[in-house]
Amino acid sequence: MSHYPNSGTWRACPQCGRHVHQRQWGTYQQCPYCHYWQRLTVTQRLQQLVDTATFQSFETTERPVNQLGFPDYAEKIQRAQRQTGLSEVVVCGTVTIVQQPCVLAVMDSHFMMGTLNTVVTRRLLHASEQARARHLPLVIVTASGGARMQEGVYALVGMNLFLAELARLATAQLPLITVLTDPTMGGVSASFAFRGDLIVAEAGAKIGFAGARVIQQTLPVKLPADFQTAEQLLANGMVDAVIERPQLRAYLGRALSNYGIGGQVHG
């Protein structure tokens, strides 16, 4: 007989199918049977990466607009907002990570699969502008299925505007660190995810452009078991490091310390 309570605290592992009690998932949300890493919310990610009580969110009033008139788009956004408690996919602000100051942007794949739209790109652009204004490194934690189809070309234009801003960040000689988590796909992987001066992937993350199922439906090929994994990308020189979730905060702290950039966190 299980020593865990029965009510509403069990969740099936997406990888092995075993039922795992919430206590067994632990702080870092890892399946104790197959070691699958559960996808994190923004709140969980901040709790794991950021020094206590140092996150200062940037004020934002932008809200998504249904510019193309997609049916039910407004309802889908409202549902995602209720389910996640977020107004959009990304949260940005100033933080310290192991006493190292930076601007941090964290994406949440639980909000419409972390898809990129005009509001998300404006928030990311503002985060980079703040990094330049405060003379701080920029750290972006990606978790996205790509561009949001309901915003079409507007989402793609937003990506280009953000890439232009990242060029200005580079001209200012301020580092960009991208942390690629599960999933990092589509337009996000094709644009800024691999623009980092340091590109870190979380162990076990799925990272690519088109998904394996789409590729196999298009091309008669058998894909390797490690296709589009963080580990495969490291073996092929596409990322600088693959880090286990419990070690990620310490790794980022060391990286930020090595850059040696001290700017203004507050103000």
**Residues making up the binding site for Zn(2+):** 13, 16, 31, 34
DSSP H/E element including 231: helix 230-235
Compute the distance between CA of residue 36 and CA of residue 14 in angstroms, rounded to an integer.
8
Output the known binding site.
Answer: 13, 16, 31, 34
Q: How would you classify the pairing of strands 19-21 and 56-57? A: unpaired
Compute the distance between CA of residue 252 and CA of residue 258 in angstroms, rounded to an integer.
10
Residue pair 201/234 in contact by the 8 Å Cβ criterion: yes
Compute the distance between CA of residue 192 and CA of residue 156 in angstroms, rounded to an integer.
12
**Is the peptide bond between 101 and the residue preceding it cis, with omega within 30 degrees of 0?**
no
Residue pair 116/148 in contact by the 8 Å Cβ criterion: yes
Residue 134: half-sphere exposure toward Cβ, Cα within 13 Å: 23
Residue pair 138/128 in contact by the 8 Å Cβ criterion: yes
Q: Which residues contact 8 (CB under 8 A, 6 or more apart)?
A: none
Dig out the tokens for 264 from the structure.
């203004």
**Residue position matching structure tokens 């490690």:** 226
The amino acid occupying position 102 is C
Q: Residue length, the chain?
A: 267
